[in-house]
Structure 1
Amino acid sequence: MNIALSTQIESLKTEVSPEEWDLRVDLAAAYRLIAHHGWDDLIFTHISVRIPGPEHHFLINPYGFLFEEITASSLVKVDLNGKKVMNSPYEINPAGFTIHSAVHEGRDSAKCVMHTHTTNGIAVSAQKEGLLPLSQQSLFCLSSMSYHDYEGVALRDDEKPRLVADLGNANFMILKNHGLLTCAPSIADTFLAMYTLETACDIQIKAQASPELSLVPNSVISNMMEQASESTHGLGGALAWPALLRKLDRLDSSFRT
């Protein structure tokens, strides 16, 4: 692998379908938002999105790029075996491929998968009881939460079925002693889910400075997904996504190239 990577690449806009290009722009935006919020771990975490069609191709970050450098054209298109299906000078993170290909293959509804290694996310993942019902944000997550035990760096194919089984139909997953994962039918929904989960973990770590905590009763959790839909007028992440893109355009619109 060439470690002296150039971040300059010719635009692929005319070489892919309009639908794929839109996904590339949104995925590059999601990487920039991760960097903006300080959730990146140098070059070592991942977001992927499945391209519509029967081939199960998906886009993932070029290994070696900071998230603030990623553009629509630098994203790498691979199949479920990790093989590049479109010419690219860049490689991908094998651990990122293992986790994301497992979820994309096992959950057809998981069009986008996001994974982070934030300090507070890992701190909560190391706690025996996991995420606690301490905040409104945590309740949204707990209404669709799953856990997966740590098995080492995710490089082995034999871990895939266990990860998919643990995920089930949940949209939020805590990878114990490792980090956080969210998935959804769209990039916007997946980002909103991660924003909510990261915020819930931040709140939990801060709240645990107190010797006495007030936990929300489990009976409240069951209605949280319905309330979340009502509060976003049924749009989910799509309600906030245009505003987030406007923010990125004000900061640096190069993600669109």
Structure 2
Amino acid sequence: MIPLPDLPRPACSDEEWQTRVELAAAYRLVALFGWDDLVFTHISARVPGEPGAFLINPYGWLFEEITASSLVKVDAQGQKLTDNPFPINPAGFTIHSAVHAARDDAHCVLHTHTLNGVAVSAQQAGVLPLSQQSIFVLSSLGYHDYEGVALRDNEKPRLVEDLGRGNYLMLRNHGLLTVGRDVPEAFLNMYLFESVCAIQVRAQAGGACTHVNPDIIAGARQQAAQVTKGLGAQLVWPGLLRRLSRRMPGYDA
């Protein structure tokens, strides 16, 4: 067995450390929920007070191994800003740098390759209005056609245009992407997105499906604010951290 190095806590502001802890928690929660794809997807978060800088995973670490100290800080050109011996995923940088640069409100960007998500992304009709969960995704959803592994800068404008001002992006034949005003919001958005895809695949396997009335989808954002009492993702995030501390402690190291 090759052990991971014990990386020291980086010198940073309290605000950056809090973001690191939340982002590391999101990585481990993705693993806990079974959405990880070995080391091949990514989550990023903006560094508070440092325009253009964001945090992303050290390439080669499993999501269940990520800690707050291990996260790599990079600038808008992908140059490391902290002393970290691990590289970053080049495809991850292309996708995340594009979204962070274009969306001031996208403080966290989360991308997955789940079986359910990729299955629905391969369907011509995309997400269908089959469930209560689907109305929240459909009210803020874009689609981006597959162009191969995301390694080319010239794909960035199309990706950003397809996301628009939405919070959900289906990457055709590839997977799912969500954004959030913070880490908890991006995670909750992905929970909904993944749930929608899992329900759709199962519902389609059972035969003919009933669709939700489009008028209901139009009011989904207002309904989401009501059902969470205006707290949004903060309603569930503390509980998720408690679950993570019980089952997969150590993310805040």
In the alignment, the residues of structure 2 paired with residue 136 and residue 227 of structure 1 have an alpha-carbon distance, to the nearest angstrom, of: 11
Map 1:170-249 to 2 at 5 A: 170-249=166-245
Could you say what the CA RMSD is over the residues aligned between the two structures, in angstroms? Answer: 1.2
Q: Following TM superposition, by how much is the alpha carbon of 1:154 offset from its aligned partner in structure 2, in angstroms?
A: 0.0
Query: Between Structure 1 and Structure 2, how many residues are aligned?
Result: 253
Q: Deviations over 1:55-107 (max 9, x none)?
A: 31000000000000000000000011111011101110000000000000011
Report the secondary structure of 2:73's partner residue.
strand
Counterpart among 41, 44, 48 of residue 44 in structure 2: 48
Counterpart among 161, 166, 189 of residue 162 in structure 2: 166
Counterpart in the other structure of 2:74: 78
Contact in 2 for aligned 1:5/1:64 (Cα 8 Å) = no
Map 1:36-115 to 2 at 5 A: 36-115=32-111
In the alignment, the residues of structure 2 paired with residue 226 and residue 52 of structure 1 have an alpha-carbon distance, to the nearest angstrom, of: 29
Unaligned runs of 5+ in 1: none
In the alignment, the residues of structure 1 paired with residue 241 and residue 203 of structure 2 have an alpha-carbon distance, to the nearest angstrom, of: 32
Counterpart in the other structure of 1:33: 29
Q: Following TM superposition, by how much is the alpha carbon of 1:231 offset from its aligned partner in structure 2, in angstroms?
A: 0.7
- Confirm whether residue 9 of structure 1 aligns to residue 6 of structure 2: yes
Which letter does structure 1 place at the counterpart of 2:79? K
- The TM-score with structure 2 as length reference comes to 0.98
In the alignment, the residues of structure 2 paired with residue 157 and residue 182 of structure 1 have an alpha-carbon distance, to the nearest angstrom, of: 20
In the alignment, the residues of structure 1 paired with residue 2 and residue 171 of structure 2 have an alpha-carbon distance, to the nearest angstrom, of: 30
Contact in 2 for aligned 1:118/1:179 (Cα 8 Å) = yes
Report the secondary structure of 2:251's partner residue.
helix
Q: Following TM superposition, by how much is the alpha carbon of 1:217 offset from its aligned partner in structure 2, in angstroms?
A: 1.5
Contact in 1 for aligned 2:64/2:248 (Cα 8 Å) = no
Report the secondary structure of 1:98's partner residue.
helix
Which letter does structure 2 place at the counterpart of 1:242? P
Contact in 1 for aligned 2:28/2:248 (Cα 8 Å) = no
> Could you tell me the percent identity over the aligned residues?
58
In the alignment, the residues of structure 2 paired with residue 251 and residue 210 of structure 1 have an alpha-carbon distance, to the nearest angstrom, of: 34
Q: Deviations over 1:211-245 (max 9, x none)?
A: 21100111110111111111111111111111111
Which letter does structure 2 place at the counterpart of 1:30? A
Q: Following TM superposition, by how much is the alpha carbon of 1:7 offset from its aligned partner in structure 2, in angstroms?
A: 2.2
Unaligned runs of 5+ in 2: none
Q: Following TM superposition, by how much is the alpha carbon of 1:5 offset from its aligned partner in structure 2, in angstroms?
A: 7.1
Counterpart in the other structure of 1:137: 133
Which letter does structure 1 place at the counterpart of 2:208? E
Q: Tell me which stretches of 4 or more aligned residues in structure 1 moved more than 3 Å.
A: none
Report the secondary structure of 1:100's partner residue.
helix
In the alignment, the residues of structure 1 paired with residue 106 and residue 2 of structure 2 have an alpha-carbon distance, to the nearest angstrom, of: 31
Report the secondary structure of 1:52's partner residue.
coil
Contact in 2 for aligned 1:63/1:90 (Cα 8 Å) = yes
Q: Following TM superposition, by how much is the alpha carbon of 1:9 offset from its aligned partner in structure 2, in angstroms?
A: 2.4
In the alignment, the residues of structure 1 paired with residue 196 and residue 55 of structure 2 have an alpha-carbon distance, to the nearest angstrom, of: 28
Q: Following TM superposition, by how much is the alpha carbon of 1:184 offset from its aligned partner in structure 2, in angstroms?
A: 1.0
